[in-house]
């Protein structure tokens, strides 16, 4: 799994732990739902600022999106 | 400092600890030196894949680029 896959898996786990839909998280992070879906599937190569918005919407620091064993 | 600034500071610290020039690190990570300079100054909004290349060239996991107290 490359770094995108790791980030995507972490985002999905954190989102599900908060019982948020992709649509809800996408809205809170100000990204399109289809884009968020691509991030979660490891298909999108997101930037630092987009990931920081997603992290803030999840209530975590951005470093949590990069942890290896989340 | 936003997340770009944190990443940039970490990249610069890790690069200097390895006694690498920006030119050397840029070459190893396959980015332009001017781009790397922008990343280090927190001006560039790098993507996951570019940061992963920079991390690998520094010999660290990408999560090290996001630590808060590096």
B4 to A13, A69, B17, B39, B68: CA distances (angstroms)? 24, 24, 20, 7, 12
B12-57 pLDDT, tens digit each: 999 999 999 999 999 999 999 999 999 999 999 999 999 999 999 9
How far apart CA B7 and CA A70 sit, in angstroms, is 20
Domain limits of chain A? Answer: 3-66
**pLDDT at residue B49, rounded to an integer:** 98
Q: Nearest-CA residue of chain A relative to B70?
A: A63
The CATH code that applies to domain B3-66 is 1.10.260.40
Set of chain A residues whose Cβ sits within 8 Å of the Cβ of B66: 62-63, 65-66
Set of chain A residues whose Cβ sits within 8 Å of the Cβ of B65: 66
Q: How close is the nearest chain A Cα to the Cα of B65, in Å?
A: 9
Across the strands, what pairs with A10?
none
How far apart CA B2 and CA A19 sit, in angstroms, is 27
ipTM for the assembly: 0.92
A10-65 pLDDT, tens digit each: 999 999 999 999 999 999 999 999 999 999 999 999 999 999 999 999 999 999 99
Q: Give how far the C-alpha of residue A13 lies from the chain's centroid of Cα atoms, to the nearest Å.
A: 9
């Amino acid at each position: 799994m490359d770094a995108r896959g790791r980030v995507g898996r972490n985002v999905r786990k954190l989102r599900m732990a908060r019982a948020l839909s992709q649509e809800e998280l996408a809205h809170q992070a100000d990204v399109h739902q289809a884009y968020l879906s691509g991030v979660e599937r490891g298909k999108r190569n997101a930037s630092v600022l987009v990931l920081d918005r997603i992290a803030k919407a999840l209530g975590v620091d951005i470093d949590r999106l990069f942890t290896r064993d989340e």
